[in-house]
Amino acid sequence: MRVLNGVSGRTALLVTEKVEPSRKNSDAEQLGTRTVRPYEFHVLLAHVQPALTASPPIPPRATSEPAAIPPGRSRGPDAGRVRQWALAQGLTVSARGRLPADLVTAYRIAHPGSSASTTAS
């Protein structure tokens, strides 16, 4: 609820004592806005639910543990080893962040016997 100096199409209710024609009353009538006297407003206000003082509790999130890895699969090769290998091969690789899939694939092809070469998905 807000107290304003004018009436617009968004005004839901005009509380006024004035009976004589006024700009607000004529605007309210033109826009179809309900007009009530202060005593009527008091009655209406008694039936309005109070605003919440506090937000309802937020349920806890699921644990942040990583999903289980199916047997026979791994999350992939160690990112540090892949970066080191890529730099030794003369490839451009960022110092941080996710490794490009084609770079990981190239590392796996170059290291077929390592345990980190199993596919991850």
Q: How confident is the model over 50-84, as pLDDT tens digits?
A: 766 677 777 777 666 666 666 666 678 889 999 99
Residues 42 and 83 grouped into a single domain: no
**pLDDT of the residue at 3:** 63
CB 76 within 8 A of CB 100: no
The model's pLDDT over 12-41, given as tens digits with 9 standing for 90+, comes to 778 888 777 788 888 888 888 888 888 888
CA distance 121 to 34: 62
Residues 1 and 42 grouped into a single domain: yes
Is residue 86, in this structure, part of any structural domain at all? yes
Is residue 8, in this structure, part of any structural domain at all? yes
CA distance 76 to 118: 7
Range of the domain at 99: 79-117
**pLDDT of the residue at 37:** 83
Nearest to 86 by CA among 105, 69, 112: 105
How many domains are contained in the chain?
Answer: 2
For 13, list phi and psi in degrees, rounded to 5. -155, 135
